[in-house]
Amino acid sequence: MQYIDGGVCAAKGFSAAGIWCGVKANSSPAKKDLALIVAEVPCSAAGIFTKNRVKAAPVLFDIEQLKGGKARVIAANSKNANACAPEGMENARRMAAAAAAAAGVDVSEVVVSSTGVIGQRLNVEAIEKGLPEAAKALSASAQGSDDAANAIMTTDTVKKEFALETTVGGKTVRIGGIAKGSGMIHPNMGTMLCYITTDCAISSPMLKKALLAANALSFNRISVDGDTSTNDSCVVLASGLAGNAEITAEGADYAAFLEGFTALCIDLARSMAADGEGAKHLITCQIKGAKTVEQAEIIGKSVIGSSLTKAAIFGCDANWGRVLAAMGYSGEDFDPEQVDVAFASAAGRVEVCKDGRGLAFDEDLAKTVLTEKEVVIDVTMREGDASATCWGCDLTYDYVRINGDYRT
């Protein structure tokens, strides 16, 4: 397994584009607001979507579209979420019809996404005008993926794009993805859009199975602010052009694919947590020695979701008491007197709590450790031998600034 360039265009059979069509206000240089991803052949497809009771129109539309497990075109706009918006479903359908016409496929093969402000009418006319232009700009080069990754960004500060190749059934298979997500991020997915392409030959049911398995270890283990959005969508398309024997059941081939696919999803998920709105730190919380993986995950999510822990990491303050408090209110039962905590980073490691009690530690070293961009909160319990890793970010002045006036 090794990393390669190309994002969603790395796998055989995919091209992508990103343009400015006018959903975002004009600016110089123009900020892209419309992404298009097209497969040259029909694909196995799978998607997972927000669990929020309030679902955006494109989410409801896509859930129907993907019931058959096939798709080959993805169109997505940023700046407007088309959620709780007038004519929401009608505009989602118009966007899909325009994408189908532009790409020359049947509308049944199209999924659409929107991300941005909730409650305002989508400027679908701009999208209808823009899609033929986006189709003209389609490129199978790395630039195509780059443009698409840029076009789905809202408050993101860096684009999220990864690709890797691995071997499945003796053939080289490529898996690549782009994502956006910065605020309204919480386990059970966030305000994230994520598109993954692969040329692995895999049936729709097995692709869906792989997506659910990888999601549980990646997108469901990140949190920026505890807010689960109305628009979260992750869609994967598999063109089958790698030439491997189609995966239709579990076995060595499925395991090889899943390993690479999960690694890619974790990369995308971590990059969203690291680019959380206003974030100065990526926080990785490792829970070891739990009774079960579920327990480890629930406790880890409670720690990365704690506003007080997040603010302490922003202040580079080794305030481990907040870690224990967050573990304690997770709802899980455990012995607080059997918990060790350490903070670690590229700058070193400092043990701060042993058996639920504070250790004397070098405050200067702790400050140095916590000043790094990537910080690990390393928790060891003595309940069992299960573990889980979750990712979050710190709570900063900039998070408040960004969200104090997002609409204007």
Among 3, 30, 41, 51, binds a copy of itself (CB under 8 A): 51
Among 17, 95, 138, 184, binds a copy of itself (CB under 8 A): 184
Among 139, 143, 188, 203, binds a copy of itself (CB under 8 A): 188
Q: Are 267 and 92 in contact (CB under 8 A)?
A: no
Q: Which of residues 342-361 bind a copy of itself (CB under 8 A)?
A: 353, 356-358
Q: Which of residues 94-123 bind a copy of itself (CB under 8 A)?
A: 117-120
Interface with a copy of itself, residue 314, by CB under 8 A: yes
Helix (H/G/I), strand (E/B), else coil: 343 = strand
Interface with a copy of itself, residue 312, by CB under 8 A: yes
Interface with a copy of itself, residue 308, by CB under 8 A: yes
**C-alpha–C-alpha distance, residues 301 and 371, integer Å:** 22
Which one, 5 or 398, has the nearer CB to a copy of itself? 398
- Please identify which of the residues 191, 230, 262, 396 carries the catalytic annotation: 191
**C-alpha–C-alpha distance, residues 185 and 191, integer Å:** 6
Secondary structure percentages of the chain, helix, strand, coil, to 5 = 35, 30, 35
Q: Please give the backbone phi and psi of residue 134, each rounded to the nearest 5 degrees, phi first.
A: -65, -40
Is 115 among the catalytic positions?
no
Of the ranges 63-71, 162-170, 308-316, 376-384, which one interacts with a copy of itself (CB under 8 A)? 308-316
**C-alpha–C-alpha distance, residues 303 and 25, integer Å:** 39
Q: How far, CA to CA in Å, does 209 sit from each of 149, 203, 216?
A: 25, 10, 11
The encoded tokens of residue 8 equal: 């969603």
Q: Is the peptide bond before 86 cis (omega within 30 degrees of 0)?
A: no
Which one, 2 or 329, has the nearer CB to a copy of itself? 329
The encoded tokens of residue 281 equal: 């730190």
Catalytic machinery residues: 191
Give residues in contact with a copy of itself (CB under 8 A). Answer: 51-55, 81, 83-86, 117-120, 183-184, 186, 188, 225-230, 305-308, 311-312, 314-315, 317, 319-322, 324-330, 332-334, 336, 353, 356-358, 395-397, 399-408
